[in-house]
Structure 1
């Protein structure tokens, strides 16, 4: 009995001593919003449009130089079309900000929170996250690559999951060449 107590005490002391000198290298890296870029591209039957949107804030979490998490807030009021100019650019920017699409007066930000991160190759990770647009949250899976202090990610988003049904062939009949595809792309070049 005495030996068992001594062994338990010794094991406890060794464990506490070991853990007190063991550090887990955790690091939260803030995104440099002025040096990072998000490009969007939306598709319709007769072509496509593209533009940019600004990151309001964000960070990536690392543990021993491996990506473990992250979170981003997007400033929806900055939706900007880059493939049009003048009157047509103004009309499309205004329409994307309206209630038909992102309703930025009511929902000025969108948010992405990493829920699960799994290494999928050298410097590559498969991320499952919760994406919130217009107050609706859905799970999304995408790939992100990290090189030094930079990362790139490409997301394909189904707008109808967030209540954006304007000219969707899944909700409206007889749109023909006026239909807008449900999925749009986001490509992010991040610096931290």
Structure 2
């Protein structure tokens, strides 16, 4: 459902491409889970992961509003049981946020955003027999900085929160199932280029 809504939103944005402006952002991110999951088997948690995360942003004319779609190569995340790596999950984290950009007279443009995110499972290995796709809320805060000699480019930093708890089935203890509380924070820094 979220995937279909994102596709429809992007198609709508592309038809209005001459009314506003586009920005390409190339960044590096760390995905840091904020929760551990207590199970009868022990404590299960997902490890930190680093990745290249480009995004595409569309600005709605002269308004302070924009929409940003976060893309990434698949994350390869270790799952630990009582501190030992027992599985690896490869997943895609597409995230669509609607943002408010605080325009001002400085070269810093702070922004906040809200939207939706997904955990699309690409592959799983180890004792993780099955990890289900999951969908949730996403929030975002950050800023873009444009140096004095820059026409179209800048640097940015932002922090995103994602509400994600995918169902995991382990091929131990009669295929034990539980919701893995990840709820990651994603820290991203990189370059931006506005067309």
Relative to the length of structure 2, the TM-score reads 0.52
2:162 is matched with: 157
2:50 is matched with: 52
- 1:40 aligns to 2:35 (yes or no): no
2:117 is matched with: 131
Identify unmatched segments of 5+ residues in structure 1. Answer: 1-23, 82-87, 98-103, 173-179
- Counting only pairs closer than 5 Å after superposition, residues 70-85 of structure 1 correspond to structure 2 as 70-76=68-74, 78-79=75-76
Identify unmatched segments of 5+ residues in structure 2. Answer: 1-17, 38-42, 79-83, 121-132, 147-153, 171-176
RMSD: 3.7
- 1:27 aligns to 2:21 (yes or no): yes
Task: Kindly indicate whether the alpha-carbon contact (under 8 Å) linking 1:126 and 1:143 is maintained by their aligned counterparts in 2.
Answer: yes
Deviation at 1:188, TM superposition (A): 1.0
Task: Kindly indicate whether the alpha-carbon contact (under 8 Å) linking 1:28 and 1:59 is maintained by their aligned counterparts in 2.
Answer: yes
The aligned length equals 133
2:81 is matched with: none
CA distance in 2, matches of 1:126, 1:137: 20
Task: Kindly indicate whether the alpha-carbon contact (under 8 Å) linking 2:135 and 2:164 is maintained by their aligned counterparts in 1.
Answer: no
2:100 is matched with: 118
Deviation at 1:136, TM superposition (A): 3.6
Structure having the higher strand fraction is 2
Deviation at 1:121, TM superposition (A): 7.4
Structure having the higher helix fraction is 1
Tell me which structure has the larger Cα radius of gyration: 1
Relative to the length of structure 1, the TM-score reads 0.52
